[in-house]
Amino acid sequence: MRTMNQTVQTWMPAFLALFGSLMVVITAWLNTKALSAQINAVRAEIKALRVEMKQQIAEAELRITRETN
């Protein structure tokens, strides 16, 4: 029993370090995934704004063309 406790005590720091490293990696992966989703949302919003802006420019050009004719 005493040898088993010594073995556990010997391996415990290595196990805890490995577990801590795993938690850091998982947290970083989750943060990266969340950030990627936010970036994709911003890209979609920018694309929608570009389409809206192009539409407004086309309408303004049409009004100018009508006014000059």
Give CA–CA dist 47/53, Å, rounded.
Answer: 10
Domain hosting 63: range is 20-69
| pLDDT, tens digit only, all 69 positions of the chain | 677 788 888 889 999 999 999 999 999 999 999 999 999 999 999 999 999 999 999 999 999 999 987
Q: Which two tokens stand for residue 27?
A: 């947290």
So what's the pLDDT on residue 15?
Answer: 94
So what's the pLDDT on residue 1?
Answer: 60
In a domain, 6, yes or no: no
Q: How many helices (H) and strands (E) does the chain have?
A: 1, 0
In a domain, 8, yes or no: no
Give CA–CA dist 16/18, Å, rounded.
Answer: 5
In a domain, 5, yes or no: no
b/e per residue 37-52 (b: at least 16 CB within 10 A):
eeeeeeeeeeeeeeee
pTM: 0.65
So what's the pLDDT on residue 8?
Answer: 80
- How many domains does the chain divide into? 1
